[in-house]
Structure 1
Amino acid sequence: MVRLPLTPAEVERGQRLGALLRRARGDRPMLDVALAAGVSPETLRKIETGRVATPAFPTVAALADVLGLSLDELWSEVSRPEPAREPLAS
């Protein structure tokens, strides 16, 4: 099976997901959160850093549950387009 390259939108969405999970984890150790969700700490690290931009739904659902996030809130945050940046003045 050939995996197609991710689109820029998918990469950006993955980065927003990672940032959201990092914020929700706060000061909790990555190991504790990963084990409670049933994923490896390496998987959680890759998701949080955006290296895994499209994690499996059960993984996202398990992490959301452990972090106290609703899937509705998570999706609305992750799928929201970033505001356009102002062009730099010359």
Structure 2
Amino acid sequence: MVRSPLTPQQRAAGRRLGAYLRDARGERKAADVAHAASISPETLRKIETGRLSTPAFTTVAALAAVLEIRLDELARICR
């Protein structure tokens, strides 16, 4: 099965999500946040830079829990 290319809107939403998560992380080290969320630091970097525009829900939920962000707030950012 071939995945369809992302639309410009999906890529823009991914960049907004990444920027929001990066701001929420603040001064905390990416490696510490990634470890707490049980993801790799590289995955977190890809999300924060928008290179991973559509991360898995479980990944977003784990980051939201670690960063103490409500999921409905992240959903609003991605609209």
Amino acid at match of 2:77: E
CA distance in 1, matches of 2:59, 2:72: 15
State the TM-score, normalizing by the size of structure 1: 0.86
User: Post-superposition shift, 1:51?
Assistant: 0.3
Alignment-derived partner of residue 74 in structure 1: 74
Higher-helix-fraction structure: 2
| CA deviation vs aligned residue, 1:19-45 (integer Å, no higher than 9, x gap) | 000000000000000000000000000
Alignment-derived partner of residue 42 in structure 2: 42
State the TM-score, normalizing by the size of structure 2: 0.97
Alignment-derived partner of residue 30 in structure 1: 30
If you compute each CA radius of gyration, which structure gives the higher value, 1 or 2? 1
Alignment-derived partner of residue 85 in structure 1: none
Unaligned runs of 5+ in 2: none
Q: Over aligned residue pairs, what C-alpha RMSD do you find?
A: 0.6
Alignment-derived partner of residue 59 in structure 2: 59
Amino acid at match of 1:57: F
Kindly report structure 1 stretches of 4+ aligned residues shifted beyond 2 Å: none
Unaligned runs of 5+ in 1: 80-90
